[in-house]
Amino acid sequence: MRVYKELGFGVDDIANWLREKYGVKCQSNHPLGGLVNTSPLAAKAGLGWQGHNGLLITPKFGQRQRIAPIFIQDKIFQFTDNSEHKWLEQFCKNCRKCEKNCPTGAIYSEKKISIENVSGIEQTRTCIDRTKCYPYFNRTLGCSVCVKVCPFSKGETQYNKLKQIYIIYNKGIYASES
Ligand code: SF4
Ligand code: SF4
């Protein structure tokens, strides 16, 4: 909650600075809620990849970070569509520690459709059953068992180590198939 609060103030400060100093028309989004799912957006921007439980995994912090975007009216940066961390998708398929350890069984084996017929994007999908996660999350003042058990929560050294193992393992598969 402290991080949510500090990041909320921080993202407002940055948006104000962009408006005052550069005249950028923009709107900050508090990290606790909002209109968009920020994990896939952050992945497209090259920060990391969305993990099996829906949270972003980054090399430095694993799932231990919050995200707060700033939406800008005019295109002042080039769009990015980065897949550098896509290997995490396959890693998650073989890991599933978050799903196995979730005390409420809230993490789906496969993403489920949460809303149909959204104008422009047709449907949205979700990784967790909020009716199971949220009440428990509130009762325990922030459960986060899924974050704790994620192997990437141990920091950047662990990220690099697992990436190396993943690459070697997949080369092995490739070699045995060819
Ligand atoms: S926060 Fe707790 S209850 Fe919610 S998905 Fe993670 S492990 Fe499950
Ligand atoms: S615990 Fe495993 S499956 Fe879940 S997000 Fe982390 S790496 Fe992916």
Of 74-78, 88-92, 132-136, the range with the lowest mean pLDDT is 74-78
User: Is residue 114 in some structural domain?
Assistant: no
Instruction: Domain count for the chain, please give it.
Output: 1
Per-residue pLDDT for 173 more than 90? Answer: no
Ligand 1 atom index nearest CA of 107: 5
Q: Which ligand is nearest to the CA of 91?
A: 2
Which of these ranges, 13-22, 91-100, 106-115, 120-129, has the smallest mean pLDDT? 120-129
Residue 172 in 3-state DSSP? Answer: helix
Residue 152: predicted pLDDT: 96
The answer to the question of residue 110 being in a domain is no
Range 140-157 average pLDDT: 95
Is 118 within a domain?
A: no
**Residue at 126 is within a domain:** no
Residue 81's pLDDT is 80
The residues facing 58 across adjacent strands are: 62
User: Distance of alpha carbon 2 from its chain centroid, rounded?
Assistant: 19
Structure confidence by residue, pLDDT tens digits, 106-117 = 999 999 888 877
- Check whether 23 has a pLDDT greater than 80: yes
For the chain, counts of helices (H) and of strands (E) = 7, 6
Residue 90 placed within a domain: yes
**Domain assignment of residue 127, yes or no:** no
Instruction: Note whether residue 9 is domain-resident.
Output: yes
| Domain extent for 63 | 2-96+150-177
pLDDT one-digit tens code per residue, 48-68: 999 999 999 999 999 999 999
Token pair, residue 31, equals: 């990290």
Residue 77 neighbours by CB under 8 Å, 6+ apart = none
Mean pLDDT over each residue of the chain, to the nearest integer: 89
Q: Give the binding-site residues of ligand 2, using a 6 Å CB cut-off.
A: 51-53, 91-92, 95-98, 149-152
Distance, CA 2 to ligand 1 centroid (Å)? 19
Beta strand ranges found along the chain (DSSP E): 26-28, 49-50, 56-57, 70-72, 107-118, 122-128
Residue 175 has pLDDT above 70, yes or no: no
Q: Is residue 135 part of a domain?
A: no
Amino acid 167: pLDDT = 82
Look at residue 178 and tell me whether its pLDDT is greater than 70.
no
Whose CA is closest to atom 1 on ligand 2?
150
Neighbours of 95 (CB within 10 A): 18
Report how far ligand 2's centroid is from the alpha carbon of 79 (Å).
28
